[in-house]
Structure 1
Amino acid sequence: MIPNNYVETIYAGFLGMNVGIRLGAPIEPVVWTHDRIRDVYGDIRTYVKEYKTFSADDDANGPVFFLRALYDDAVNRELEPDDVGRAWLNYAREGIGMFWWGGENVSTEHTAYLNLQRGIPAPRSGSIEVNGLEMAEQIGGQIFIDSWGLLFPGNMQKAADYAEKAASVSHDGNGLYGARFMAACIAKAFETKSIDDVIEAGLSVIPADSTYAKVVHAVMEFHRDNPEDFRACWHYLDGRWGYDKYTGVCHIIPNAGVCVLAMLYGEGDFARTVEIASMCGWDTDCNAGNVGTILGVMAGLEGIPAHYRKPINDFIVASSVSGYLNLVDFPTFSKELALLGYRMNGEQAPEGLAQRVKKGEVYFDFDLPGSTHGFRTSNSFKTPVVRHSAQHTKESRGSLEVVFDRLVTGDSSKLYFKPFYRREEFNDEKYKPTFAPLIAAGQQVSASFYLDQWEGEPLTLTPYVRNTHTKEEVKLDSFAPVCGAWTDVVFTVPDTDGAVIDEIGWVLESDSPLLNRAIGSLFLGRFHVTGAAEYAIDFAKQYKEFGSVTPFAQHRGKWELKDGALHCVSETDCSAYSGNYYAGRIIVEATVKPIAGDSHLLITRAQGIKRHYLAGLDGAGKVSFIREDFGQERLISAAYDWKHGEEYRMKVVADGDHFDLFINGVNVLECRDGYFASGMYGFGSLGPVENEIRDVRVYTEVE
């Protein structure tokens, strides 16, 4: 039975997971031992590092992307391990992002990925038989499973079964027991405030004689005799169950002990639990992330302290092949996961929830308690408070309050959202995220503001977008919101001449004198971006960052910027992707110069690396329209005399089930196919290639 506060609890669990990951990440390297963490950071009570923006982490990537098997394959049937294996191949770019590419027989995930590529299906891809016992029992079996527990509130067996199927892609033995244990703990946390009940739920779904169960019982027994000193328990764990006894890069058994230790000594307090998990050392971000989900669900939103929640600001980046899906807004993701949970549990979702999920659009309503949807201000002195509020609301239970303080002529502060990110906004590289802009030229922005001004001349708001290439702000017509009432505003996103937009929002100003300064609160009740996007991509205004050329995510090949063009060289098949993942009507055109190789193609309706259409130059004297669905099928081909070294203006139009390929303005190919109804766009080759791509123009519309 889905609980009444299901969305809020998922939100708390997902927040808790990411707080734990962020807290533990800086002290994850093996050199940060238990003793060194203690000596340097002491009794941890807050983040040990402040990030400008926390970069992608495998602990977050897995819970976000592996469950997409339920959207792509297991839609009207039970999940199978191979469904999740297909999600691995479809969303992970080879050798970059998603998880740790530490080498075959070193990284369990890298090894499993290579097995899948070789045609070894899950669960054999992660089995002891194929990979050996040590490799199969590393920690990844339990760190990617949080979403499965969130999908099945109170149903420990179902959560454990699905978590095991997902984990079996890469793990076996105790690696699977860890997945089952953690998922059951999360599911149980929806219906209890007792840590003992949660741990017993985890034990109930794994073999009683397993090593995993034994380490859990050992920590429980030590805690019963020594309930005050978590460090004494850690020393006991290290002596009996430590890394010297369970080898490999990061074995599951010692870390399982830490998770149980943290939950017991944390005594149901969210903050203390993730802090203890981090102070113990070993795989700190994984352990703090897992217990953060459990305690987030158990403690709820009110149990997560503001000093841990505020820096997260409802946002993380992920590192899949879809830059659009990589921008993860917590309230939106939580609502989407809740809708999926209702479906998986055979229950009807509340109508209000369904209306608040608008795939392919940016829709922020501040309905969830404390939600900010990643909004920021640029001048903390003039806008010192940015917070969720229930004081003034419209169409939801909340709004975003911005307190402006003593604005005078010449002062300003921006209230804005970031639909795109650059490398400069991160402290480190980690799992190398990629970004496709959530908002582009031609789309319509609507918002609702409530003004409560206490003194001063009227506040004015000026809509703007920022060009990430020049850093210039493109401003539109200013307006003055009505004081004491809601003001609805609409504007169209302006063009930025081939550059990407990385900020969108409003400039707050007031023509107030020093003796009558503008002070008050501005409430943003709704922010909605919808409609068709039409824009250019000028490669002279793009950048090579995080291993990819903006705004694309590249899979295989060497992609560089050269003389204002995108230059691709590859010894194998390769591809690059951008755009709205949910776009239905797509027009993409580019000037393509084939230099070597026989395959120079535009991509449309891409739902991942293994699911999309390709159209273009396909062999000597030929053009084709090809469907890629874990294997290629040429749907139609035609003769076309093309030559290396010449430029071709290629355009693909995808409209419903009808597709057209134009070259130099001539329609050279038509095709009908209804297999993929929406997706990204991009460029690809089915074999060794060298080419140049320039002057890209795109039209996308969510249908």
Structure 2
Amino acid sequence: MTYQEYLYKTYAAWLGKIIGIRLGAPVEGWSAEEIKRTYGKIHGYIVDYDVFASDDDSNGPLFFVRALEKCCSKDITAQEMGDNVLNWLCDGHGFFWWGGEGIATEHTAYSNLKKGICAPSSGSCEVNGKDLAEQIGGQIFSDCWGYVAPNDPKLACNLASKMSSVTHDGDGIEGGKFVAVAIALAYELKDIRKIIDTALTYLDPTSSYVKLCQDVITKIDEHPNDSDYVLQWIQENHGYDKYPGVCHILPNTAIMIWAMLYGHNDFDTTMNMLCEAGWDTDCTLGNVGSIMGAMVGLEGIDEKWTRPINDVLLSSSCMGSENIDTVSSSVRVFTELGWRLQGKDVPEKYLRDRSRVDFLLPRSTGGMRINKHRYFEANAVNCDETLKIVVNNAYPDTVGKVYLTTYYKPEDVYDARYEPSFSPIVYPGEKIHYTVSNPEHLPATFCIYMKDDQGNMYRGERQEISEKTTLSLSLPTGDYVVCECGVEAYVSERVMRTYFVIHEFYKDNTAAYGIDFSNLSMEDWGYDFGGVRRSAVRGCVTHHGSAYTDQSGLHLDGMISFGDMFSQVQEISLEYDKAYEDSVSIVFDMCGYMDYKAICVHEDVIEFVTKRNGVSKSEKRVFENTNMPKITLKIDRLRDRIMVYLGEVEFSFDSCGLSASKGAVGLICEDPKDCVILGCKLGCSNFQ
């Protein structure tokens, strides 16, 4: 299997996962009878989400697999995977359901890890009890281990077993193994019955999980043409009332097997049947969508499923810029790690580059949208690794826009049940580029533009284009949020049945901007999964504690982060309330909560802290407290030195490991007394 074949197969599987989540989300927790009474037969999406916000079922695979980024080895340990969980999650909100310790399995396991209970004890029956350990979460996040182990079910089983043990035990682990192994097998096998039968051989034959699956298979074999009878049998013998906990793994596994076998290798039939069966629909459909997607490939998935997604994938990790992504970009996280596990180099053409949007994968749009209207009727079509903007009909003196959303506000997404928090993916001071061509000689001029959070537009020069041309715009430095970057097409004559082409979008990571926290608004994100209303500081992610802004600045008791995870910060200046006398930490090169560098200013000590995999090392400088309200860091990556300026006082730290590191920026004030941050200025260099 070539890398391109592997990438395309994994892309189909990952799309299947996203499709399943989107299809199942509206009826999550419904019974089959309720779905039948309300919707009747399901033939596709039942809610038009437009921009679908984050979901735990996609959060898990995308970020749990990143344990391999730090330890890309088949011998990675469960504890290393547990450290990765602590790295990517906010504490107590977002990512998955925080239903309370002893109630929500993942919440309980996260708390165990925080307390120092290492994996696999963190998810064990001994620590958490059998009922909690065998809920569905051991299975629903496990797709990624199949993605990184194509045609290698043994490896998929091994990796899934370790990760599932971080949060689950018993049948919770068996379910994680089953999903991963089935996906690994589906890269080669083309018959779902063979995939299921073979996957079960990798599980503990004495487990309740295997026994349940075999019982369902036997019942289906006895009634090959009566799916309704078997579904009723499952409901009566393996319903939620037969198992403990909030959402047990076994009832949902039973209907997964039922739908896959009665679906007869057809993606549409399988997914629609499973949605009609109810229970934990986004979870079951996500897993089955992965398995079926890997098996049938992109050609077996109708465009009615992929078109509404528009290639957009939003998440709710603790790293805001990584929460805005696309399906076609994020799938390369899996394939690059899977290829590296095989000891192979990824072809340069397909390397994931977060400063660039391409259209290399079929049906990918890079999340681009068209501001179309009755006088500019257009659609975007992926064609030959480009995005063709098909202009069906446009009137003279009209303007059409093709754009990328670079920051999502609450009104831009359908809901916020899993508390997405975003930092922009483009910043003031950067230079943005669109490569465009006009092979049909459309009578139009084109210009690149940027729109900020206040609705202000910044435009480049309008140009006539025929051949492939790069339009560029240097964004002004300043205190604003970049929300949209796009291309405007000014049509001068009536045109029909024509097109122009977007080849790529890219940016230089040279941000230079300031944040006046007194002018930075709070965003109302509405209700989360538990019905709690949430607000957040625009462009920032609160990892833990509280953060809010008012006319005096940012009030912080905890930790927030902001900025691009793939930039190299060169200078940071921070102004804070000089009446505040406790410690303030400026975090930089942040790649998660367990991985960052920081300068901490205490009452009479300045400390340089390096945190790697949760282990901190520090170097201190003692000084006479001058109670200065401003701190400036100058980060010299060539000389591997940090200069710290506190008023007229200057300190330096050498051999800091700066040359290749990169990451976002954050602030920490860990004291019950309120800290007020007035403003922050940053300057970055081009890393990629």
Given the two structures, how large is their TM-score scaled by the length of structure 1?
0.92
Matching residue within 139, 142, 146 for 1:149: 146
Would the alpha carbon gap of residues 594 and 601 (structure 1) be closer, same or farther in structure 2, given more than 3 Å must change? farther
Mapped partners of 1:76, 1:216: distance in 2: 31
**Alignment match, 1:306:** 303
Mapped partners of 1:33, 1:124: distance in 2: 34
Mapped partners of 1:2, 1:187: distance in 2: 16
**Alignment match, 1:465:** 450
Matching residue within 588, 595, 599 for 1:604: 588
Paired residues of 1:449 and 1:523 also in contact (CA < 8 A): yes
1:4 Cα offset (Å) = 5.4
2:615 equivalent to 1:637: no
Mapped partners of 2:43, 2:150: distance in 1: 30
2:505 equivalent to 1:527: yes
Mapped partners of 1:594, 1:236: distance in 2: 69
Would the alpha carbon gap of residues 381 and 640 (structure 1) be closer, same or farther in structure 2, given more than 3 Å must change? farther
Secondary structure at 2:257 match in 1:
helix
**Letter of the aligned partner of 1:63 in structure 2?**
P
**Alignment match, 1:97:** 94
**Alignment match, 1:506:** 487
The count of residues paired between Structure 1 and Structure 2 equals 674
Structure 1 residue runs of 5 or longer lacking an equivalent are 391-396
**Letter of the aligned partner of 2:20 in structure 1?**
G
Matching residue within 55, 61, 74 for 1:63: 61
**Alignment match, 1:12:** 12
**Alignment match, 1:394:** none
Would the alpha carbon gap of residues 593 and 402 (structure 1) be closer, same or farther in structure 2, given more than 3 Å must change? same
Mapped partners of 2:578, 2:227: distance in 1: 64
**Alignment match, 1:357:** 352
**Alignment match, 2:522:** 543
1:133 Cα offset (Å) = 0.5
**Alignment match, 2:424:** 437
Backbone CA RMSD of aligned residues: 2.0
**Alignment match, 1:625:** 608
1:3 Cα offset (Å) = 6.6
Matching residue within 330, 343, 346 for 1:346: 343
Mapped partners of 1:687, 1:81: distance in 2: 33
Mapped partners of 1:36, 1:7: distance in 2: 39
1:537 Cα offset (Å) = 2.1
Matching residue within 387, 394, 408 for 1:400: 387
Mapped partners of 2:261, 2:73: distance in 1: 39
1:225 Cα offset (Å) = 2.4
Mapped partners of 1:626, 1:64: distance in 2: 28
Mapped partners of 2:477, 2:231: distance in 1: 56
2:369 equivalent to 1:386: no
Note the alpha carbon deviations across 1:602-626, whole angstroms, 9 max, x for none. Answer: 11111211221221422x2222222
Matching residue within 465, 471, 483 for 1:481: 465
1:357 Cα offset (Å) = 2.5
1:274 Cα offset (Å) = 1.8
Mapped partners of 2:256, 2:578: distance in 1: 54
**Letter of the aligned partner of 1:615 in structure 2?**
I
Mapped partners of 2:553, 2:73: distance in 1: 44
1:581 Cα offset (Å) = 1.2
2:127 equivalent to 1:108: no
**Alignment match, 2:38:** 40
Paired residues of 2:50 and 2:308 also in contact (CA < 8 A): no
**Alignment match, 2:646:** 663
Note the alpha carbon deviations across 1:651-691, whole angstroms, 9 max, x for none. Answer: 35352532122223653343432178221111113444421
Paired residues of 1:623 and 1:640 also in contact (CA < 8 A): no
2:411 equivalent to 1:424: yes
Would the alpha carbon gap of residues 66 and 614 (structure 1) be closer, same or farther in structure 2, given more than 3 Å must change? same
2:365 equivalent to 1:372: yes
1:77 Cα offset (Å) = 6.1
Given the two structures, how large is their TM-score scaled by the length of structure 2?
0.94
Paired residues of 1:322 and 1:608 also in contact (CA < 8 A): yes
Mapped partners of 2:285, 2:114: distance in 1: 32
Mapped partners of 1:670, 1:349: distance in 2: 37
Mapped partners of 2:118, 2:349: distance in 1: 40
Secondary structure at 1:556 match in 2:
strand
1:42-191 correspondence to structure 2 within 5 Å? 42-72=40-70, 74-76=71-73, 78-191=75-188
2:677 equivalent to 1:684: no
1:518 Cα offset (Å) = 6.3
**Alignment match, 2:315:** 318
Mapped partners of 2:327, 2:636: distance in 1: 31
Q: Percent identity at matched positions?
A: 30
1:247 Cα offset (Å) = 1.6
2:219 equivalent to 1:222: yes
**Alignment match, 2:555:** 567
Secondary structure at 2:308 match in 1:
coil
Secondary structure at 1:605 match in 2:
strand
**Alignment match, 1:579:** 563
Paired residues of 1:444 and 1:490 also in contact (CA < 8 A): no
Paired residues of 1:499 and 1:542 also in contact (CA < 8 A): no
**Alignment match, 1:393:** none
Would the alpha carbon gap of residues 260 and 350 (structure 1) be closer, same or farther in structure 2, given more than 3 Å must change? same
Would the alpha carbon gap of residues 598 and 58 (structure 1) be closer, same or farther in structure 2, given more than 3 Å must change? same
Paired residues of 2:186 and 2:294 also in contact (CA < 8 A): yes
1:481 Cα offset (Å) = 1.3
Mapped partners of 1:210, 1:624: distance in 2: 52
Secondary structure at 1:507 match in 2:
strand
1:66 Cα offset (Å) = 0.7
Structure 2 residue runs of 5 or longer lacking an equivalent are 526-534
Note the alpha carbon deviations across 1:260-280, whole angstroms, 9 max, x for none. Answer: 111111111112222222111
Paired residues of 1:112 and 1:169 also in contact (CA < 8 A): yes
Secondary structure at 1:523 match in 2:
strand
Paired residues of 1:444 and 1:529 also in contact (CA < 8 A): yes
Mapped partners of 2:468, 2:320: distance in 1: 33
Would the alpha carbon gap of residues 87 and 702 (structure 1) be closer, same or farther in structure 2, given more than 3 Å must change? farther
1:495 Cα offset (Å) = 2.3
Would the alpha carbon gap of residues 496 and 701 (structure 1) be closer, same or farther in structure 2, given more than 3 Å must change? closer
1:53 Cα offset (Å) = 1.3
Note the alpha carbon deviations across 1:589-610, whole angstroms, 9 max, x for none. Answer: 2211255562112111112112
Mapped partners of 1:336, 1:59: distance in 2: 16
The 10-residue stretch of structure 1 (471-480 or 277-286) with the greater mean CA deviation from structure 2: 471-480
Secondary structure at 1:169 match in 2:
helix
Note the alpha carbon deviations across 1:537-591, whole angstroms, 9 max, x for none. Answer: 23314333444212111122211111152111x3xxx211111212234322221
**Alignment match, 2:530:** none
Would the alpha carbon gap of residues 304 and 140 (structure 1) be closer, same or farther in structure 2, given more than 3 Å must change? same
